[in-house]
Structure 1
Amino acid sequence: MRRSNECFAYGRAIPSRRQIMPLLEDLKEYAERATGLRRPGKRRASELPRPRKPHVVRFRDDGLVPNHPRWPLMLYRSAVRLDEQHDPAAVLEDLFEGNGWGDSWRDGIYDYVHYHSRIHEVLGIARGKGRVRFGGNKGRTFTLKAGDVVVLPAGTGHQCLAADKDSLVVGAYPSAGTYDECTTVEDRPRALKTIPKVPVPRKDPAYGGAGPLKKLWKRPK
Protein backbone atom coordinates (compact mmCIF):
# COMPACT_ATOMS: atom_id res chain seq x y z
CA MET A 1 0.00 0.00 0.00
CA ARG A 2 1.33 3.44 -0.91
CA ARG A 3 1.65 5.38 2.29
CA SER A 4 3.94 8.26 3.19
CA ASN A 5 4.11 8.03 7.00
CA GLU A 6 5.09 11.70 7.06
CA CYS A 7 5.98 11.62 10.74
CA PHE A 8 8.61 13.22 12.92
CA ALA A 9 11.54 10.84 13.25
CA TYR A 10 13.59 11.06 16.42
CA GLY A 11 15.30 7.64 16.45
CA ARG A 12 14.75 7.05 20.16
CA ALA A 13 15.03 3.59 21.71
CA ILE A 14 11.79 4.18 23.61
CA PRO A 15 8.91 5.25 21.34
CA SER A 16 7.89 8.87 21.91
CA ARG A 17 4.33 10.14 21.92
CA ARG A 18 4.95 11.30 18.36
CA GLN A 19 5.86 7.76 17.33
CA ILE A 20 3.01 6.07 19.21
CA MET A 21 0.29 8.47 18.01
CA PRO A 22 0.23 7.22 14.39
CA LEU A 23 -0.28 3.66 15.62
CA LEU A 24 -3.21 4.72 17.80
CA GLU A 25 -4.68 6.72 14.93
CA ASP A 26 -4.36 3.70 12.64
CA LEU A 27 -6.32 1.61 15.13
CA LYS A 28 -8.92 4.33 15.47
CA GLU A 29 -9.28 4.60 11.71
CA TYR A 30 -9.67 0.84 11.37
CA ALA A 31 -12.43 0.78 14.00
CA GLU A 32 -14.21 3.76 12.45
CA ARG A 33 -14.18 2.24 8.98
CA ALA A 34 -15.43 -1.08 10.35
CA THR A 35 -18.31 0.45 12.30
CA GLY A 36 -18.99 3.73 10.54
CA LEU A 37 -18.95 5.51 13.90
CA ARG A 38 -17.84 9.15 13.84
CA ARG A 39 -17.42 9.08 10.07
CA PRO A 40 -19.56 11.47 8.02
CA GLY A 41 -19.42 9.45 4.80
CA LYS A 42 -18.42 10.88 1.44
CA ARG A 43 -21.77 12.54 0.71
CA ARG A 44 -21.96 14.34 4.04
CA ALA A 45 -18.26 15.22 3.91
CA SER A 46 -18.78 16.94 0.55
CA GLU A 47 -21.11 19.41 2.32
CA LEU A 48 -18.57 20.41 4.98
CA PRO A 49 -16.09 22.60 3.01
CA ARG A 50 -16.62 26.34 3.32
CA PRO A 51 -16.42 28.52 0.19
CA ARG A 52 -12.78 29.58 -0.02
CA LYS A 53 -10.47 31.06 -2.60
CA PRO A 54 -7.04 29.45 -2.43
CA HIS A 55 -3.95 31.34 -1.40
CA VAL A 56 -1.71 30.61 -4.37
CA VAL A 57 2.08 30.38 -4.07
CA ARG A 58 4.61 29.59 -6.79
CA PHE A 59 8.13 28.46 -5.97
CA ARG A 60 11.28 28.52 -8.05
CA ASP A 61 13.79 25.71 -8.30
CA ASP A 62 16.25 26.36 -5.46
CA GLY A 63 18.98 24.03 -6.64
CA LEU A 64 17.97 21.18 -4.35
CA VAL A 65 14.17 21.21 -4.52
CA PRO A 66 12.82 21.59 -8.07
CA ASN A 67 9.27 22.57 -7.05
CA HIS A 68 6.80 22.51 -9.94
CA PRO A 69 7.70 24.40 -13.13
CA ARG A 70 4.14 25.61 -13.80
CA TRP A 71 1.63 24.81 -11.08
CA PRO A 72 1.28 26.59 -7.74
CA LEU A 73 0.71 25.34 -4.23
CA MET A 74 -2.86 26.07 -3.10
CA LEU A 75 -3.66 26.83 0.55
CA TYR A 76 -7.28 26.88 1.68
CA ARG A 77 -7.62 28.55 5.09
CA SER A 78 -10.27 27.15 7.49
CA ALA A 79 -11.68 25.29 4.54
CA VAL A 80 -13.40 22.39 6.32
CA ARG A 81 -15.94 22.57 9.12
CA LEU A 82 -14.86 20.25 11.93
CA ASP A 83 -17.17 19.45 14.84
CA GLU A 84 -17.40 17.15 17.84
CA GLN A 85 -19.87 14.83 16.12
CA HIS A 86 -17.29 13.47 13.69
CA ASP A 87 -13.65 12.50 14.00
CA PRO A 88 -11.87 15.38 12.18
CA ALA A 89 -9.41 12.97 10.56
CA ALA A 90 -12.33 10.90 9.25
CA VAL A 91 -13.97 14.04 7.84
CA LEU A 92 -10.85 14.85 5.83
CA GLU A 93 -10.39 11.26 4.70
CA ASP A 94 -13.98 10.97 3.48
CA LEU A 95 -13.80 14.39 1.79
CA PHE A 96 -10.57 13.59 -0.04
CA GLU A 97 -11.68 10.08 -0.99
CA GLY A 98 -14.97 11.39 -2.32
CA ASN A 99 -12.96 13.55 -4.71
CA GLY A 100 -10.67 10.77 -5.87
CA TRP A 101 -7.72 11.35 -3.51
CA GLY A 102 -6.99 8.17 -1.58
CA ASP A 103 -4.21 6.14 0.07
CA SER A 104 -4.70 8.43 3.05
CA TRP A 105 -2.57 8.46 6.18
CA ARG A 106 -2.82 10.05 9.63
CA ASP A 107 0.40 11.39 11.08
CA GLY A 108 2.60 14.50 11.03
CA ILE A 109 4.93 16.03 8.44
CA TYR A 110 8.59 15.08 8.28
CA ASP A 111 10.93 17.53 9.96
CA TYR A 112 13.37 17.55 7.02
CA VAL A 113 13.02 18.94 3.50
CA HIS A 114 11.58 16.47 1.02
CA TYR A 115 9.34 16.37 -2.02
CA HIS A 116 7.51 13.88 -4.23
CA SER A 117 8.51 13.79 -7.90
CA ARG A 118 5.93 11.34 -9.25
CA ILE A 119 2.71 12.27 -7.47
CA HIS A 120 0.77 15.23 -6.07
CA GLU A 121 -0.27 15.41 -2.41
CA VAL A 122 -2.94 17.03 -0.25
CA LEU A 123 -2.42 17.78 3.44
CA GLY A 124 -5.40 18.46 5.71
CA ILE A 125 -4.91 19.65 9.27
CA ALA A 126 -7.21 17.60 11.50
CA ARG A 127 -6.01 18.80 14.90
CA GLY A 128 -3.66 21.36 16.43
CA LYS A 129 -1.37 23.71 14.55
CA GLY A 130 2.19 23.86 13.28
CA ARG A 131 4.68 25.82 11.21
CA VAL A 132 5.48 24.28 7.85
CA ARG A 133 7.93 25.57 5.25
CA PHE A 134 7.05 24.92 1.63
CA GLY A 135 9.27 25.31 -1.41
CA GLY A 136 12.56 24.25 0.19
CA ASN A 137 15.01 26.17 2.34
CA LYS A 138 14.38 29.34 0.32
CA GLY A 139 10.62 28.87 0.36
CA ARG A 140 7.89 30.31 2.61
CA THR A 141 6.72 29.32 6.06
CA PHE A 142 3.04 29.13 6.99
CA THR A 143 1.32 28.46 10.28
CA LEU A 144 -1.32 25.84 9.61
CA LYS A 145 -4.22 25.01 11.91
CA ALA A 146 -7.17 22.64 12.10
CA GLY A 147 -9.43 22.94 9.06
CA ASP A 148 -6.70 24.16 6.69
CA VAL A 149 -6.04 22.23 3.48
CA VAL A 150 -2.88 22.48 1.36
CA VAL A 151 -2.61 21.04 -2.15
CA LEU A 152 0.96 20.40 -3.30
CA PRO A 153 1.83 19.79 -6.94
CA ALA A 154 4.57 17.24 -7.53
CA GLY A 155 8.01 18.61 -6.75
CA THR A 156 6.94 20.97 -3.98
CA GLY A 157 9.32 20.90 -1.02
CA HIS A 158 7.81 20.67 2.45
CA GLN A 159 9.16 20.45 5.99
CA CYS A 160 7.61 20.80 9.45
CA LEU A 161 9.51 23.32 11.58
CA ALA A 162 7.35 23.06 14.72
CA ALA A 163 4.02 21.55 15.74
CA ASP A 164 1.77 21.06 18.75
CA LYS A 165 2.42 17.73 20.45
CA ASP A 166 -1.13 16.57 19.68
CA SER A 167 -1.32 17.94 16.13
CA LEU A 168 -2.56 15.58 13.44
CA VAL A 169 -2.33 15.74 9.65
CA VAL A 170 -4.23 13.71 7.06
CA GLY A 171 -2.48 13.23 3.73
CA ALA A 172 -3.82 11.72 0.51
CA TYR A 173 -2.93 11.28 -3.16
CA PRO A 174 -4.73 11.26 -6.52
CA SER A 175 -5.18 7.92 -8.23
CA ALA A 176 -2.68 8.70 -11.01
CA GLY A 177 0.94 8.71 -9.87
CA THR A 178 3.43 6.72 -7.84
CA TYR A 179 4.57 7.64 -4.35
CA ASP A 180 8.25 8.47 -3.92
CA GLU A 181 10.33 10.60 -1.58
CA CYS A 182 13.20 12.81 -2.72
CA THR A 183 15.66 14.48 -0.35
CA THR A 184 19.06 14.82 -2.04
CA VAL A 185 20.67 16.52 -5.02
CA GLU A 186 21.17 13.09 -6.56
CA ASP A 187 17.36 12.81 -6.86
CA ARG A 188 17.17 15.90 -9.10
CA PRO A 189 17.99 14.53 -12.59
CA ARG A 190 15.16 12.00 -12.47
CA ALA A 191 12.81 14.36 -10.67
CA LEU A 192 13.22 17.09 -13.29
CA LYS A 193 11.97 14.62 -15.89
CA THR A 194 9.11 13.07 -13.91
CA ILE A 195 7.58 16.14 -12.22
CA PRO A 196 6.17 17.74 -15.41
CA LYS A 197 4.68 14.40 -16.47
CA VAL A 198 2.46 13.90 -13.41
CA PRO A 199 -1.08 14.36 -14.76
CA VAL A 200 -3.66 16.88 -13.61
CA PRO A 201 -6.01 15.26 -11.05
CA ARG A 202 -9.63 14.87 -12.08
CA LYS A 203 -10.90 16.80 -9.05
CA ASP A 204 -9.81 19.28 -6.43
CA PRO A 205 -9.39 17.25 -3.20
CA ALA A 206 -11.51 19.70 -1.18
CA TYR A 207 -13.93 21.19 -3.71
CA GLY A 208 -14.37 18.49 -6.33
CA GLY A 209 -14.80 19.01 -10.04
CA ALA A 210 -15.93 22.60 -9.64
CA GLY A 211 -12.92 23.53 -7.50
CA PRO A 212 -10.09 25.89 -8.47
CA LEU A 213 -7.54 23.16 -9.20
CA LYS A 214 -8.45 22.63 -12.85
CA LYS A 215 -8.20 26.37 -13.55
CA LEU A 216 -4.87 26.80 -11.79
CA TRP A 217 -3.22 23.56 -12.89
CA LYS A 218 -3.36 23.52 -16.69
CA ARG A 219 -1.34 21.66 -19.26
CA PRO A 220 0.43 23.97 -21.77
CA LYS A 221 -1.30 24.00 -25.14
Structure 2
Amino acid sequence: MKDRDKASPGGVQTYRFKDDGTMPNHPFLPVLYYAGAIDEPARATVRFEASGWGNTWENGVYPYHHYHSNAHEALGVVRGSARLQLGGDGGRSLEVRAGDVLVLPAGTGHKRLSASEDFLIAGGYPGGAKYNVRTGEPDERHRDLEEIRLVPIPQSDPVFGPGGPLTELWRPDGR
Protein backbone atom coordinates (compact mmCIF):
# COMPACT_ATOMS: atom_id res chain seq x y z
CA MET A 1 0.00 0.00 0.00
CA LYS A 2 1.39 3.43 -0.93
CA ASP A 3 1.87 6.12 1.73
CA ARG A 4 -0.85 8.33 0.21
CA ASP A 5 -3.38 5.47 0.37
CA LYS A 6 -2.69 5.03 4.08
CA ALA A 7 -3.49 8.63 4.91
CA SER A 8 -6.26 9.67 2.56
CA PRO A 9 -8.55 12.29 4.15
CA GLY A 10 -10.99 9.51 5.05
CA GLY A 11 -8.19 7.54 6.73
CA VAL A 12 -6.87 10.37 8.89
CA GLN A 13 -8.31 10.43 12.38
CA THR A 14 -9.18 13.85 13.78
CA TYR A 15 -9.49 14.91 17.41
CA ARG A 16 -10.81 18.20 18.75
CA PHE A 17 -10.07 19.48 22.22
CA LYS A 18 -11.64 22.38 24.08
CA ASP A 19 -9.77 24.93 26.14
CA ASP A 20 -9.55 23.39 29.63
CA GLY A 21 -8.43 26.56 31.39
CA THR A 22 -4.75 25.52 31.32
CA MET A 23 -4.19 23.98 27.89
CA PRO A 24 -5.82 26.33 25.37
CA ASN A 25 -5.89 23.82 22.50
CA HIS A 26 -6.86 25.24 19.13
CA PRO A 27 -10.24 26.97 18.85
CA PHE A 28 -11.18 25.30 15.54
CA LEU A 29 -8.41 23.15 14.00
CA PRO A 30 -8.37 19.43 14.89
CA VAL A 31 -5.36 17.27 15.70
CA LEU A 32 -4.62 14.97 12.74
CA TYR A 33 -3.45 11.39 13.35
CA TYR A 34 -2.01 9.47 10.39
CA ALA A 35 -1.53 5.85 11.52
CA GLY A 36 1.35 4.18 9.68
CA ALA A 37 1.69 7.09 7.24
CA ILE A 38 5.45 6.81 6.71
CA ASP A 39 6.89 3.58 5.32
CA GLU A 40 10.45 4.66 6.17
CA PRO A 41 10.08 6.23 9.64
CA ALA A 42 13.82 6.92 9.90
CA ARG A 43 13.33 9.48 7.12
CA ALA A 44 10.56 11.46 8.85
CA THR A 45 12.61 14.67 9.01
CA VAL A 46 13.51 14.37 5.33
CA ARG A 47 9.81 13.92 4.49
CA PHE A 48 8.80 16.92 6.62
CA GLU A 49 11.48 19.16 5.10
CA ALA A 50 10.54 18.13 1.54
CA SER A 51 6.97 19.21 2.36
CA GLY A 52 8.05 22.63 3.65
CA TRP A 53 8.01 21.75 7.37
CA GLY A 54 11.47 22.65 8.63
CA ASN A 55 13.34 23.41 11.84
CA THR A 56 13.27 19.63 12.30
CA TRP A 57 14.66 17.66 15.21
CA GLU A 58 14.71 14.12 16.62
CA ASN A 59 14.36 13.44 20.34
CA GLY A 60 11.46 12.64 22.67
CA VAL A 61 8.32 14.30 24.01
CA TYR A 62 8.39 16.19 27.31
CA PRO A 63 6.79 14.29 30.22
CA TYR A 64 4.69 17.34 31.19
CA HIS A 65 1.82 19.17 29.51
CA HIS A 66 3.01 21.82 27.11
CA TYR A 67 1.99 23.51 23.86
CA HIS A 68 3.33 25.87 21.22
CA SER A 69 1.36 29.09 20.87
CA ASN A 70 3.22 30.35 17.82
CA ALA A 71 3.49 27.28 15.55
CA HIS A 72 1.74 24.13 14.41
CA GLU A 73 3.82 20.96 14.94
CA ALA A 74 4.22 17.70 13.03
CA LEU A 75 5.45 14.71 15.04
CA GLY A 76 6.57 11.52 13.30
CA VAL A 77 7.46 8.42 15.29
CA VAL A 78 10.88 7.27 14.04
CA ARG A 79 11.14 4.15 16.21
CA GLY A 80 9.57 2.51 19.23
CA SER A 81 6.23 3.46 20.69
CA ALA A 82 4.75 5.79 23.28
CA ARG A 83 1.52 6.73 24.96
CA LEU A 84 0.89 10.46 24.59
CA GLN A 85 -1.73 12.60 26.31
CA LEU A 86 -3.27 15.16 23.95
CA GLY A 87 -5.46 18.11 24.87
CA GLY A 88 -4.60 18.34 28.59
CA ASP A 89 -5.69 16.20 31.53
CA GLY A 90 -9.24 15.85 30.19
CA GLY A 91 -8.09 15.14 26.63
CA ARG A 92 -7.22 11.82 25.04
CA SER A 93 -4.47 9.27 25.56
CA LEU A 94 -3.13 7.86 22.28
CA GLU A 95 -0.68 5.04 21.60
CA VAL A 96 1.71 5.89 18.74
CA ARG A 97 4.31 3.70 17.02
CA ALA A 98 6.95 3.88 14.31
CA GLY A 99 5.50 5.28 11.09
CA ASP A 100 2.69 7.23 12.75
CA VAL A 101 2.41 11.00 12.32
CA LEU A 102 0.53 13.52 14.45
CA VAL A 103 -0.11 17.09 13.35
CA LEU A 104 -0.85 19.34 16.32
CA PRO A 105 -2.40 22.74 15.69
CA ALA A 106 -0.92 25.62 17.68
CA GLY A 107 -2.08 25.55 21.30
CA THR A 108 -2.63 21.80 21.51
CA GLY A 109 -1.51 20.41 24.85
CA HIS A 110 0.61 17.27 24.71
CA LYS A 111 2.89 15.20 26.93
CA ARG A 112 4.50 11.76 27.11
CA LEU A 113 2.84 9.35 29.54
CA SER A 114 5.11 6.38 28.78
CA ALA A 115 7.46 5.17 26.07
CA SER A 116 9.48 2.17 24.98
CA GLU A 117 13.21 2.39 25.67
CA ASP A 118 13.95 2.92 21.97
CA PHE A 119 11.30 5.63 21.43
CA LEU A 120 12.40 8.40 19.07
CA ILE A 121 10.20 11.03 17.51
CA ALA A 122 10.86 13.70 14.88
CA GLY A 123 9.33 17.16 14.82
CA GLY A 124 8.88 19.84 12.19
CA TYR A 125 7.11 23.19 11.76
CA PRO A 126 5.53 24.87 8.71
CA GLY A 127 8.03 27.08 6.95
CA GLY A 128 10.67 26.14 9.54
CA ALA A 129 8.99 28.27 12.21
CA LYS A 130 10.82 28.79 15.47
CA TYR A 131 8.52 27.45 18.19
CA ASN A 132 8.05 28.40 21.81
CA VAL A 133 7.20 26.07 24.71
CA ARG A 134 4.32 27.05 26.97
CA THR A 135 3.01 25.19 30.02
CA GLY A 136 -0.24 27.04 30.66
CA GLU A 137 1.01 29.65 33.11
CA PRO A 138 -1.80 32.15 33.86
CA ASP A 139 0.35 35.19 32.99
CA GLU A 140 0.91 33.77 29.46
CA ARG A 141 -2.71 32.95 28.75
CA HIS A 142 -4.14 36.17 27.28
CA ARG A 143 -1.17 36.65 24.92
CA ASP A 144 -1.14 32.97 23.93
CA LEU A 145 -4.85 32.82 23.05
CA GLU A 146 -4.40 35.69 20.60
CA GLU A 147 -1.17 34.26 19.18
CA ILE A 148 -2.77 30.82 18.59
CA ARG A 149 -5.58 32.38 16.55
CA LEU A 150 -3.06 34.22 14.35
CA VAL A 151 -0.90 31.22 13.35
CA PRO A 152 -1.60 30.75 9.63
CA ILE A 153 -2.91 27.48 8.24
CA PRO A 154 -0.10 25.77 6.27
CA GLN A 155 -0.43 25.38 2.52
CA SER A 156 1.32 22.01 2.64
CA ASP A 157 0.75 18.73 4.46
CA PRO A 158 3.90 17.65 6.38
CA VAL A 159 3.85 14.14 4.90
CA PHE A 160 2.25 14.55 1.47
CA GLY A 161 2.98 18.17 0.57
CA PRO A 162 0.55 20.46 -1.27
CA GLY A 163 -2.83 18.80 -1.79
CA GLY A 164 -2.31 16.36 1.11
CA PRO A 165 -4.99 15.61 3.70
CA LEU A 166 -4.15 18.59 5.94
CA THR A 167 -5.04 21.01 3.14
CA GLU A 168 -8.53 19.50 3.02
CA LEU A 169 -9.06 18.96 6.76
CA TRP A 170 -7.76 22.29 8.08
CA ARG A 171 -9.93 25.15 6.92
CA PRO A 172 -10.09 28.73 8.16
CA ASP A 173 -13.81 28.37 8.88
CA GLY A 174 -13.18 25.33 11.14
CA ARG A 175 -15.30 22.96 9.01
Do Structure 1 and Structure 2 share a fold, with TM-score over 0.5? yes
Q: Which structure 1 residue ranges, 4+ long, deviate > 4 Å from structure 2?
A: 47-50
- Alpha-carbon distance in 1 for matches of 2:48, 2:86: 21
Match of 1:75 among 26, 33, 36: 33
1:129-168 matches, within 5 Å, as 129-168=81-120
Contact kept in structure 2, 1:134 and 1:156, CA below 8 Å: yes
- Cα distance per residue 1:53-72 (max 9 Å; x no partner): 21000000000011000100
Q: Secondary structure at the match of 2:95?
A: strand
Larger Rg: 1
Q: 1:121 to 1:188 in 2, by over 3 A?
A: same
Question: Which secondary structure does the structure 2 equivalent of 1:196 belong to?
Answer: helix
Q: CA deviation at 1:209?
A: 1.1
- Equivalent AA in structure 1 for residue 52 of structure 2: G
TM-score, normalised via structure 1 length:
0.73
Identity %: 44
Higher strand share: 2
Q: Provide the residue aligned with 2:156 in structure 1.
A: 203
Offset at residue 178 of structure 1 (A): 3.8
Q: Which residue of 2 aligns with 1:119?
A: 71
Structure with the higher helix share, 1 or 2: 1
Write the mapping of 1:169-208 to structure 2, written as runs, cut at 5 A: 169-175=121-127, 177-183=129-135, 184-208=137-161
User: Residue 178 and residue 190 in structure 1: after superposition, are their counterparts in 2 closer, same or farther (change >3 A)?
Assistant: farther
TM-aligned CA deviation for residue 176 of structure 1:
6.6
Kindly tell me the number of residue pairs found equivalent between the two proteins: 169
- Aligned-partner residue type, residue 6 of structure 2: P
The alpha-carbon deviation at position 177 of structure 1 amounts to: 4.3
- Structure 1 letter corresponding to 2:105: P
Root-mean-square deviation (CA, aligned residues, Å) is 1.6
CA distance in 2, matches of 1:137, 1:207: 31
Q: Provide the TM-score with structure 2 as the length reference.
A: 0.91
Residue 102 of structure 1 is aligned with which of 49, 54, 60?
Answer: 54
Task: Note the residue ranges of structure 1 that are not aligned, 5 or more in a row.
Answer: 1-46, 83-87
Q: Which has the higher contact order (CA 8 A, sep 6+)?
A: 2
Distance, in Å, in 1 between the alignment partners of 2:120 and 2:33 is 17
Q: CA shift at 1:108, angstroms?
A: 0.3
Counterpart code for 2:161: G
Aligned partners of 1:130, 1:51: CA distance in 2, in Å?
Answer: 21
CA shift, 1:213, in A, is 1.0
Task: Tell me how far apart the structure 2 counterparts of residues 176 and 108 of structure 1 sit (CA, whole Å).
Answer: 19
Deviation per CA, 1:64-88, whole angstroms, max 9, x where unpaired?
A: 0110001000000011113xxxxx4
